[in-house]
Structure formats: C-alpha cells, structure tokens
Chains A and B, each alone.
Chain A
Amino acid sequence: MNGEYSLDTTEGMAASGDPPTNNAVDDYDAEEALERQREEENKIKIKLKSFEGGVYECGLTAAKMSVMVANMLDALQETDLTKIATREPIPLQNDAVTNKALEKIVEWVDHHWDDPPIDPDFDDEKERRNEELSHWDKQFIDIADQGELFDIIAAANFMDIKGLVEVGAKHICNKIKGKSCTEVREMLKIHNDFTPEEEAAIHKENEWIYAKD
C-alpha cells in the first residue's frame, strides 16, 4: 500500500513550511493536561457572595465560566489554588445578583463547566446560536417569576457568563415568537414610547411581512 500510493516525489514540496508532525501530539497532550487540570481545579470549592449577602459554594472551574470571576481570581495572583478556597467569599456587587439568582447561576455552571470546548475551525461550531436549547436548559430557565428570570439574565450578563445569557435570550425569543407587538409589550412589560402616528407608520412600512399570516 505504501509503495502503491506513495507521493515521494512531492515529499519536499508539500512538507516544506509544515511544522514537524509530532507537534500535533504535543498539542493533544497539552489539551489533555488542561482538561485534567480543569477537573482537579473544580474539586476546589470557592465561595461567591450575592448582593443580598448569601454565600454560595461553587467549583473553581465552574466559577471561572464567569469571565468576571475568572478575572478577579487572576488579579489575586494566587499560585496556591487551595488557598483560594479558604479566602473570603467573592462579592458580586450588582443588585441583579440576588440570592435566588446566584443559586440558579451556580446550578447552571455546575452542569455546564465540562461541556466540550468549541472548535472555531468548524463552521457549525462557530455559532451555537441556531441550536435549540437542550431539555435540561429548558427546564432550568423555565421560571414563572419574570422578575427572577430577568435577575438571572442580568446577573449572568454582569458576571459575563455568555452561555447563560444565551439560554435566557433564546428563552425570551421563543416566547416572543409569533406574538404581535402589543402582546410582546404586555408580556415583557415594555413601555410604549411611540405616538400612535409613529406606530402606524412603522406598521405600514412592514406591512408586507404580515401579508400572508
């Protein structure tokens, strides 16, 4: 087989400029090591303090899903990670981070911290925005109290947890789907700051979209 399909004549040409092949192996090992490290680190529990003063425990890797928390931890420049566990709780200074919201956020990152990483080389992984929510996420985000739901989204936005904001956003957009302007306003309690004339003008402009509904 080797002889039959060999491309020996092009060996020099094709290989020039390519990195040595064992780089890929190193790459893989590095990835693997990183993953093991993430698993180990998640066994270390850190404390997060809500705006209302409630303290919640969370695995370190899971907590780092919040870019804000990750940055704060980096700023500590603590090399001994076990010391982080015994530190004072990290305060989250935003009124959206209520006890309830933080509890839910910890639940979410705890479920998602070991999700497979996105490989930007594949077009279909670049964007998960078109994917439907998983059943777990749907159950998680289906919260009757809209104030609480908005707290979680705002808190996730404040803590910079992209995935959770996305879950919230998709949930809201699913609810908007097919509803009229007035219904949307009512549901999301949005103040209408258009004059009736302005509103009618926009309606007329977008008339074609309603044409066949």
Chain B
Amino acid sequence: MDIHATQDVTQYVAQEDTQQPQMSAKDSLDRFGDDLCEDILSYLTLKDRFRCECVSKQWQRLVYTTVRNITITRELMARNKPQSDGYFYDKTMSALMKKCPNIVSIDCRQLYNDRHGRRILETIAELRDNCRHLQGIDGYFLRFDNDFVVYLFRTFGRMITELVLNGYQSRREVLRLCPNIWSLNVDDLSHVFTESGAELLAKNLKHFQFSFDIDFDISMFDIFLAYNQSLISVSQRLREIGRKCSKLKSFKLEMSSQTPQLNVYVLRAIPLMRRLKRLDLKLQIIDNTMTTDWHAFDCVSDWPKGLTHLCLDLWHIHFKLFRQLETNLRKLQSLGITTGNTRIHPEDTLDRISGLPKLQDLVIRSPVRLQLDDEVVMRFAMYSSPKLRSVTICETNDFDGYKNIWFGPMVTELCLRFQEYEREVIRLCPQLCRLKVNHLSHAFTKSVDKQLLAKNLRHIEFDLSTDFDISMFDTFVAHNQSLMSLSVRCIPKGIVNQFLTRITHLPQLHDLSLAIYGCLDNEYPIGDNLREIGIKCPKLKRFRLEMCSQTQQLNVDVLNAIPVMRRLKRLDLKLDIHKIDWFVITDWHAFESVSDWPKGLTHLSLDLWLIDNKLFQQIGTNLQKLQIIRISDPKSVVNYGSLDRISRLPKLQELVIRDTRGKQLDDKDMEMFARNSSPKLRSITISTGLKFYCGNVFMQFSDKLIHELRQ
C-alpha cells in the first residue's frame, strides 16, 4: 500500500480539475462545486467514506477531509486480518490517520487491553505530525499498567484537556503532567490535592464534577474555588453556588433529605441561577411521614425563564407544578418527569404540557401505568407545539419504585409481588387503596404475632396456598369492610367452602374474581355459596370464576346461582369438567337459567365445558344489553346457526370466538353475521388455539405517529 503515491495523485488531480471546469447535468451531483460537495459528504459514516472513495476524483479528494472524530470500535478492530497479527493497529490506523488529515479526536474507549491501547497510541505518537489538528484522545487509559500510564502522560500530557479520575485517585499525580487540563471528574474533592493534602493539583478548570464525602472539608473548597475562578459547570448541592457562579447554565442535583422542607429550599434556590438553561433535579425524602405544603411549587414561577431542558424526579408531583411549568417556562424544549409514587392524571398533565410552545421531547415515567385514552393523546398531538418530536410514556422499574417509597402518604397502589420482604412499607402508606401480594400472609408482619398491615383497602389481589390459615382472612375481612374488589387465585379446593362463606361478610364488594385450584367433588355446595354471596353482596357488578368439577352438575349449579347477582354487569365464567361423561352431557336444560340472568349484563365471557345452540338462543333473547361477548369453544359446535342467534343483539360491539379445535366458521359466515348484526359492531375476532393478551407496558409515540394523528 503506497499512501504517498496516492497523495501525489490527489494533488495532481486537483490541479487538472480546476483547469477544466465543465457543465454537468442538472440531476448529476457533479454540478456541485468542491465546497458544497465536501459539505454534503461530511455527513457520511466512516465506513461509507472508505467505500465511496473511488466514486470519482472529486470524491476522493473531499471524502476524508471532513473526518474530525474517529471512534475505534470493536467492530473496526475485528476487521483485523487473521493471518497478520496487529494489522489494524499498524497499518489501518496509520492509513486512517494519513487519509484523514483533519482528525480532531480519537475515541479509543472500546479498547480492552493494554497491548492494543499501547500500539494505537504508539501509532498516533509516530504520526502526530500528520494530524496537526488532533486535540483529544478518549480512552480508559488509567486502568492500564503503571508504565503505560506514565508513558502516556509523558507523551500526551500537554494535549490532555479532560480527565476522569473517578476510582483512580491513586493515579492523581498524573495531573502534574497535564498543565492544560480544563475538565475534571473526581470522586472526592480531596482527590485534587496531593495525598498530603498540601498542594492543589488542578488549577484553571472550566468543568468540574465531584461528590461530597462525609468528611468534606470546607476550607478545601475555598482553596479550590480561589484557584478556579472560571468554573462554569458544577454538580453539587450548595445554594450559594447560584449567587456566586452567575454564569451557571447547567445544574444537576441528586439528593434525599430528612424533611421536604430542605427540598423546597432547593427549589427556591433555583431562581438565583438566573442564566440556567438546563436543570436536572432528583429530590427525595427519607422520612415519608412528613407532609408537604402545596406551596412548595410556588417558586417555580421565579425559575429562570431561559430553561430549555428540565428533568424532574421529585418526592412529590402536584398538578400545580404543571400549571407553573406551562405558564412560566415557555422555552422548554425537553421535559422529563418522573412521577415517583404520585398518581398523576394524564389528562391534566398532558393538557398543561401541550401549551408549551417549544417543546420537542417529552418523557413521563410513572410507576403505575398511565391510562391514556385515544382522545387525550389525540388532543395532545393536535394542540402541542409543532416542534414536538417525541413523546415517551413509560413505567418506571417497579422494583426501584417501591423500594423507595418516598412519599408514603400519597401512595394509593402498591404491588408487592415477589417483594414480600418489603412489606413493611405498607405501614408508611395510610392512603393505600389497592394492594397486590403473592400471598395474603404478606399483608401481615413477619413477626410471630402476625399483625395486619393492610387495613381499609378497596382492592386486593392475592393467591392462596394449602397451608392457608383461614383466621388470617377473618382478620383481614374484619379490618377491610369497605373492600370493593377481591381477586384470589389458586384457592385450594379444601378450603373453598370456608373461604366463600367469609366473602359474604364483605358487603361493599363490587368486583369478585375467584380461581379454584383442584377438581371439586360433587357434593360441594358451590351453588349455595354463590347464592349467599349474591344476597349478602348486593353491589356485586363484576364476577369472575374459574373452576373445574367432577361432573357437570356443579357447573350447572354455578349457572343457576348467577340470577341472584342482580346487578351483575360483567360475567366471566370458566367452568370445566374433569372427566366428561358423555351420557350426562346431553342434558340441554343446563342452560335454562340463562333466561333469568341479570338483564344488565354488558360483558360476557364464557369458557364452558359445553356450548350448544340453546345457550346462544338464550343469550340472544334475554341479554339485550350485551356489548362484548367472548366465547371459547372447546367442542367446535359454534356454527353459523349459533351465531345467527346472537347477531340481533342491538348493542353488540365486539365478538371474540376462540376456536380451540380449528375452523368451523368461514369468512362467508362472518360476513353474514356482520351484515345482520347491530350497527355498533366494531370487531369480530376468531382465533384458534390459545391467545395471550399482554398489556402495553411501554408506549412510544414517534413524531411520525403524531403527524399521522394530526392528519
């Protein structure tokens, strides 16, 4: 490979080209002069540049001149020729540096061992005269061996302008070799002094980052400040900074304090930083029994009006904050909000935020999934700033979220599944409404006396196991008389009777979901149980039951008990038979009770041991308010005749049939159904096999989607 020859050719070509200007076609890139062409090619990736060098002589002389920063990626290094060890470092590196005369920085952070690092740096040192513009080399060099570090800093020390010393305070003496350093990160302020503490090593810095240690010595900071008057970017927590560093433009602070008061002080210190453009605050409180005055956010009205980037992760978010943001921080381009354990109403929030005229990026992180309906999103997309590029709404990691319940009094929902060791946090949440645990015992203390932690709940979800102590449920019921929704999975069949009779002591129950584990014997009084629940829980609106029985009689008992639940709106039954007795199964009267089912039913989901036309007949005639029907059909008896019977339901919007055995219905049947059925009908789904419904954990609207929504 003869690089010099190539360069000579380049120069020669340059002369020739200027001598013969020629007109090119309108749609040919040749029409552009060198300046514009160079500008255009400057957006190519390094790889594309090498590939395009031979497009034309104009490209050859322009394609490398705009290379400013090179990243030595693992992928690049992997292009080593296997037979020639070190090919990349010796030849390609020098080729790169010779071809690209204007390199400003080289990023070697992906280098993983000294040998590679050393060879690249040696190559760079050799070729330094080729790269007169080289200003920086990024790399994790401090972890290499001592000889290498000394070599590196002797050779390049004068060129080094930025240094991250975190974790390498033992190497701090290298600072002496770097007289031109202007940006420094260290773990502790003492690390910029010699080990004896006598001499300051870093002077004339512009950027500096450090964390506070407990034995932070204030006099150290004095000396430091005195020597670094031009410091313009500091991450630390003193409010005085605002007054003293009047040029501060970016401020990031993470802290958790004993009382909310301290956090409010921080918020109030922000107005002093008049030139602030970027603000990233993470303020939490340790003692979450403390309450906050809503006026905490009053000071936002005095925050610097020039703020463009704002990221807030606060101990509490109040809707007032959003109002303040909308009115006062009109220049925000990027806004990130972590809601912590505060529930925010997406309608209010998004409506407020949509008033920000310059907003480009919005991120909302919330531990509970935000229920966004299409209307809210549409409205946001329509009224928000035309600059909007991305909206991200995601759930924060549950684990972290609940581990730090900074604002217990505000927490209304808690999921402790697989985190029962954290159960004590329930104590800190007096307003808790909704609790999810793996086992009911997790709502009690771990100590021997088993005190109930969760009281006055509205919603609870748990599983049961065979060693379940029914007295525990008694205690729970006694302290949770206003419980509205109860969801229990895996009720062992041995305690079903006991358990169901306890449920009748919950008069406010609206929503009941039960799944029984194991196959129930014929004598089980399930029908009586359910009838009693129906009478004692008159407010029951939703009922879900999953069970399996020895013979169909028990299942029929269940169906017969439904009429007692007079206010039922949603019914979801999954009734199975352990051993199908084909002689008994021909009893069509099983579905007679459907005619007496509550007339108000709007959602019906049935997965029965048997389905026949008589059932459809009954549904079609008696349940006129049905909006959604989901039917799983294990025996493939659903045919057009069946569907015809429910097609005249006037409110039907959605029909889902899970056909576990394969196709019985064809497109023509569905077409007929669609033609005859109510005008409200929106969707028909026929699926084979099992279908898993998964929730949207993560939503992201790209700006493309927003554009489409607008149109």
User: Hey, which bits of chain A sit against chain B, CB under 8 A?
Assistant: 1-2, 5-7, 9-11, 13-25, 27-28, 31-32, 111, 115-116, 119, 121-122, 129, 134-136, 139, 145-147, 150-151, 153-154, 157, 165-166, 168-170, 172-173, 176-181, 184-185, 188-194, 198-199, 201-206, 208-212
Contact = CB atoms under 8 A, between A and B. Distances in A.
B308 A209 contact: no
B28 A212 contact: no
A148 to B, nearest CB: 9
A122 B278 contact: yes
B538 interface: no
A205 B1 contact: yes
A7 B229 contact: no
B36 A165 contact: yes
A110 to B, nearest CB: 11
Contacts of B45: 177
Contacts of A209: 47, 50-51, 79
Contacts of B95: 205
Contact of A211 (B28, B41, B79, B249): B79
Nearest to A193: B57
Given A169-B40, A185-B55, A150 B79 contact: no
Contact of B222 (A9, A22, A111): A9
B56 A21 contact: no
B243 A21 contact: yes
A213 B60 CA distance: 22
A154 B222 contact: no
Contacts of A122: 249-250, 277-278
B29 A154 contact: no
B589 interface: no
Interface string B275-314: 1011000000000000000000000000011101000000
A158 B268 CA distance: 50
B52 interface: yes
Interface in B344-398: 358, 360, 386-387, 389
Nearest to B278: A122
Contacts of A180: 51
Given A9-B222, A10-B225, A24-B246, A169 B43 contact: yes
Contact of A177 (B48, B56, B389): B48
Interface string B258-271: 00011001000000
B28 A189 contact: yes
A191 B56 contact: yes
Interface of B: 1, 6, 9, 24-32, 36, 39-45, 47-48, 50-57, 59-60, 78-79, 81, 87-88, 92, 95, 218, 221-222, 225-226, 229, 232, 238-240, 243-247, 249-250, 261-262, 265, 272, 274-275, 277-278, 304-306, 308, 331, 333, 358, 360, 386-387, 389, 702-704, 706-707
Nearest to B47: A209
Contacts of B26: 147, 150-151
Given A13-B225, A173-B48, A193-B57, A116 B40 contact: no
B278 A178 contact: no
A19 B243 CA distance: 11
A17 B228 CA distance: 12
Give 7 closest A-B pairs by Cβ, nearest first.
A24-B274, A189-B28, A147-B27, A147-B26, A188-B29, A173-B43, A169-B40
Nearest to B305: A28
A177 B79 CA distance: 19
A193 B56 contact: yes
A147 B24 CA distance: 11
B30 A21 contact: no
Contacts of B30: 189-191
A194 B56 contact: yes
B54 A194 contact: yes
A204 to B, nearest CB: 8
B287 to A, nearest CB: 17
Nearest to A172: B40
B27 to A, nearest CB: 4
B79 A212 contact: yes
A184 B249 contact: no
Given A17-B229, A129-B42, 16 more contacts: A1-B239, A1-B261, A6-B240, A14-B226, A18-B229, A28-B274, A28-B306, A119-B277, A129-B43, A150-B28, A151-B26, A153-B40, A190-B28, A191-B30, A202-B53, A202-B60
Nearest to B268: A1
A192 B56 contact: yes
B41 A153 contact: no
A42 B283 CA distance: 42
Contacts of B59: 190
A5 B39 contact: no
Given A23-B246, A177-B48, A178-B48, A13 B222 contact: yes
A135 B52 CA distance: 27
20 contacts: A5-B238, A5-B239, A6-B240, A7-B238, A9-B218, A16-B229, A18-B247, A21-B243, A24-B247, A116-B358, A122-B250, A134-B389, A150-B27, A172-B43, A188-B28, A192-B56, A203-B54, A208-B87, A208-B92, A209-B47
Nearest to B25: A189
A96 B596 CA distance: 80
A195 to B, nearest CB: 11
B78 A212 contact: yes
B28 A7 contact: no
A121 B41 contact: no
Q: Which of B43, B47, B88, B331 has the most CB of A within 10 A?
A: B43
A188 to B, nearest CB: 4
B19 to A, nearest CB: 13
Contacts of B79: 208-209, 211-212
Nearest to A22: B274
Given A24-B246, A27-B274, A212-B78, A135 B704 contact: yes
Nearest to A178: B48
Nearest to B57: A193
Contact of B51 (A119, A135, A181, A189): A181
Contacts of A116: 308, 331, 333, 358, 360, 387
A89 B277 CA distance: 39
B56 A173 contact: no
B246 A181 contact: no
A153 B48 contact: no
A154 B701 CA distance: 34
Contact of A15 (B92, B244, B304, B333): B244
Contacts of A17: 229
Given A208-B79, A209-B47, A181 B40 contact: no
Contacts of A10: 221-222, 225-226
Nearest to A174: B43
A184 B246 contact: no
Nearest to A202: B54
B155 to A, nearest CB: 26
Contact of A1 (B87, B265, B358): B265
B44 A24 contact: no
Contacts of A18: 229, 244-247
Nearest to A20: B246
Q: Which of B238, B246, B250 has the most CB of A within 10 A?
A: B246
Q: Which of A154, A194, A199, A208 has the most CB of B within 10 A?
A: A208
A19 B229 CA distance: 12
Contacts of A6: 240
A180 B262 CA distance: 61
B48 A176 contact: yes
Contacts of A23: 246
Q: Which of B26, B42, B247 has the most CB of A within 10 A?
A: B26
Contact of B249 (A119, A181, A193): A119
A25 B53 CA distance: 52
A1 B262 contact: yes
Q: Which of A10, A32, A154 has the most CB of B within 10 A?
A: A10
Nearest to A206: B50
Contacts of B232: 121
